[in-house]
Amino acid sequence: MLALVFVIDKLILTKSVSKPIVYTFYSTIFLFGALLAWPFGVQFLKGFDWVIAIISGLSFGFALWAFFVGLKSGEASHISPFNGAMITIFTYVIADYFLGEKLNQMQIVGIIILVFSSLLLSFEKSRKNNGFHIGFFWAGVSGLLFAFSHVSAKYLYEVYPFLTGFVWTRVFIGFVGLFTLLSPTVRNSLKKEKKNKKEEAKSQKTMILIVVDKFFAVLGVILVQYAISISSVAPVIALSGLQFALMFVMVYLLTKFAPKVFKEYFTKREVAVEVIAILLVVLGSALFVL
């Protein structure tokens, strides 16, 4: 699901919503809707746990913003894997320090392989960029913030039922949406302007695409967060490296057979490197279940 979300995110940022801050608004503000789960047993947090929930929510929201900035600057099949590698590295370090989570040797080897494969998938050679660029910087910042969000959420899942921890961390993501309203760019995007039929149809298609994207994003996030709640956080995040392999396959197939919908630049060497990386992702993931 998240692999599909990465592809749609890039499509939206390229053809419909050009400003990352505007897309961040649409990606976060609706998460106040998590409060609709209140009747199903959501509890109030206690004391300092509110601070943990705020850290988890805000860091997730700002991580999305930084990721969209990076994604706008580079190609999805490269920025997203690099972001995933950074999330894995930072999550392992932070979880070890704050939660005392320890991995066995096989799992550590698996994480190393998944990080290495994600970095291989990150090597970008396109018409705009050759190698690392500013987009990777923002993807790294995003990775650090996502790691803080995942680890702090894991702490809440240890103390409260899953639904309680999940709802409050999602609600505080919504505050990032409120923060983006300080930007005139975001406020102007909400103003209704007279549009011709062609522009109106394009706007409707964009909103449908955003709704579909956020539907899959919410489902994907729920599954990842639930996995975190019942397991160690580092292996779960490492296993998410599978999404980058799936995303590369989607991007390559779209570029090959539907370039008018979505297209990225690939060299033969790049394809060979990324196929090797995908095989390493499979190997690294297998080490967690052997």
HEC letters along 45-88? CCCCHHHHHHHHHHHHHHHHHHHHHHHHHCCHHHHHHHHHHHHH
pLDDT attached to residue 183: 94
Main-chain phi, psi angles of 125, to 5 degrees: -130, 105
- Write down the pTM of the prediction: 0.86
pLDDT at 108: 85
Residue 260: the pLDDT is 84
Contacts of 59 (CB under 8 A, 6+ apart): 145, 146, 148, 149, 152
pLDDT of residue 118: 74
Mean pLDDT, consecutive 10-residue stretches, the chain (290 aa), reads 88 80 92 92 95 97 95 81 84 88 83 80 66 83 95 95 96 96 90 66 81 91 93 81 82 86 78 80 72
